Each structure stands twice: as structure tokens, then as C-alpha cells.
Amino acid sequence: MDEINCGFPREQRIRKRREFLAVYERGKRVQAAFFVLYILENNLPHHRLGVTVSRKIGPSVVRNRIKRQLREVFRRNKRAISPPCDVVVNARRSAAISSSCQIKGDLLGAFDRWNQRR
């Protein structure tokens, strides 16, 4: 795989509250087993990702593991979404006991469902 273009620089992250709220308000919601995704097409040349994992999910070790796994799946599979989009992923409680393979399959399946709906 081409590792040169697979980084996750700062401009590809959603970090500000108003950016999250814009995706929540205007984006399309996609349900998955471990996540709820909100996807909104943007006018940028790249995708952006925002991740939220509530304290209800578990202790910080668990929450950070989920976030790391989500970022890695997104980083390696950006091309699964056709136009550049802002993606906000909200983790469900079931994500705490899932494996990395399950997380990858669930996230890619949600991207496929969104692409088919478009």
C-alpha cells in the first residue's frame, strides 16, 4: 500500500465544537453496530475525521484504544468514501468489547452503506 499518502495530519481532523455541531446538524446519520457516523460532504480536497467517545464507554484506557483504532482504520481506508467528507464517529458501549477487526468491518460497512445511499 502507498504509505506516503496515508498520514493523518492536523488539517484532516475535526477539532472545534462548531465543526462537530455543523456535521451533526447537516450531515447524514449512518447506524452501525459499534458506532453512529455523521457524514457531511465538504468543499476541501481531503477528508476530515472527528471522534467522540463518552465516559460511559469505560475508563480512559478503553476510550483511547477505541479512538486509536478508529483513526487507524480511517487513515488506511480514506478512499472508501468517494467525495471528500467530514466524518464524526460516536462510539457505542459495545465498541469497548470489540476487536480491531470488528471495528474495521463495522466502520467500512457503514461507509459502504453511506456510499450506496448517496
Contact assessment for residue 114 and residue 37, using Cβ atoms and an 8 Å cutoff = yes
Asked if pLDDT for residue 6 goes beyond 90, the answer is no
Distance, CA of 51 to CA of 75 (rounded, Å): 13
Q: Rounded to the nearest 5°, which phi and psi values hold at 3?
A: -80, -15
pLDDT digits (tens, 9 = 90+) for 13-61: 999 999 999 999 999 999 999 999 999 999 999 999 999 999 999 999 9
Asked if pLDDT for residue 1 goes beyond 50, the answer is no
Distance, CA of 58 to CA of 51 (rounded, Å): 15
**pLDDT band of 82, cuts 50, 70, 90:** confident
C-alpha cell at 56: 460511559
Residue 118, pLDDT score: 77
Q: Please give the model's pTM, rounded to 2 decimal places.
A: 0.90
Q: Looking at beta carbons, which pairs linking 55-62 to residues 24 or more positions away fall under 8 Å?
A: 56/93, 57/91, 57/92, 57/93, 57/95, 57/96, 58/96, 62/96
**pLDDT band of 2, cuts 50, 70, 90:** very low
Distance, CA of 15 to CA of 114 (rounded, Å): 23
Chain CA centroid to CA 17, Å: 16
